[in-house]
Amino acid sequence: MDKSSYDYIFDILLCGFSCVGKSSILYRFINGTYKGPLEGTIGFDWSSKVISIQTIDNNEKKLKLKFWDSNGQERCLPFIFGCLRKFDFKAVVLVYDITNEDSFERLPICVTHINNNGSEGLIKVLVGNNCGNEKKRKISFEKGEEFARKNNMMFIETCPRLNINIDKLFTDLIKAIFDKEKNDPHSKPTLKNNPDEMSNE
Ligand SMILES: Nc1nc2c(ncn2[C@@H]2O[C@H](COP(=O)(O)OP(=O)(O)OP(=O)(O)O)[C@@H](O)[C@H]2O)c(=O)[nH]1
Ligand SMILES: [Mg+2]
């Protein structure tokens, strides 16, 4: 896609430990379906989606979301999170699996990397994935929400298999980016006005 086919670009990092569903969330958001088992991500996988944004003064703008889907192996984390220093990320999406206690208990390792490397204005979202699997749930909604609140993160539970909250995750995230820019006197706003509506292409 050449530069002229979008007005703005947001870089978004997806991170979290292995097999928590990072790539499945993205696959559902971009392709609108659930594919079942995917190949493990090696290093980074890049993908993107262009959405339309309606500004308050009725201008239509194209926003390109550029996703950096990362590998969840612990030895790769310094490299993955080091990229937060080198590139202009707008948001980071940290994923755990609500049926996998270990993926939740080890979240502080990722949060430390994010806080050490991310910019002050970075929007942080914690995602409890696999919420359609109630019978196997190990981490309550409240526990996830509390961790997010204590670490200054937004919180949502998702399920790409049943298509629960996937669009909402990214819609809320985009709104939060615009809100932050609007309220930060030092930032260069991406848009003059906050978007009124967003629609997928
Ligand atoms: N039942 C169920 N399985 C899911 C869901 N989301 C992901 N999975 C499965 O969980 C496994 C791991 O999903 P991935 O999306 O590859 O996970 P990942 O975090 O990208 O993994 P790495 O790239 O290896 O770090 C796959 O077998 C998915 O099909 C879900 O909502 N429900
Ligand atoms: Mg993956």
- What confidence tens digit (pLDDT) does each residue in 129-179 have? 999 999 999 999 999 999 999 999 999 999 999 999 999 999 999 999 988
- CA–CA distance from 25 to each of 54, 94, 149, 152 (Å)? 25, 12, 22, 22
Q: What's the number of domains the chain is made of?
A: 1
What's the pLDDT tens digit per position in 56-65? 677 888 999 9
pLDDT of residue 197: 57
Ligand nearest to the CA of 24: 1
Q: Is it the case that residue 1 has pLDDT exceeding 80?
A: no
Atom of ligand 1 nearest to the CA of 16: 19
Measured in Å, residue 107 CA sits from the centre of ligand 1 at: 17
Q: Taking the complete model, does pTM exceed 0.95, yes or no?
A: no
Can you tell me the distance from the alpha carbon of 65 to that of 9, in angstroms, rounded to the nearest whole number? 6
- The answer to whether the beta carbons of residues 13 and 70 sit under 8 Å apart is yes
Ligand 1 pocket test, pick from 18, 23, 24 with the greatest ligand atom count within 8 Å of Cβ, gives 24
Among 69, 68, 85, smallest CA distance to 122 is for 85
| CATH number for the domain that contains residue 14 | 3.40.50.300
Residues shown for the chain: 201
The pLDDT confidence band at residue 195, using thresholds 50, 70 and 90, is low
Place of tokens 């990362």: 70
The pLDDT value recorded for residue 192 is 46
Instruction: For residue 152, give its domain range.
Output: 3-200
Nearest atom, ligand 1, residue 164 CA: 31
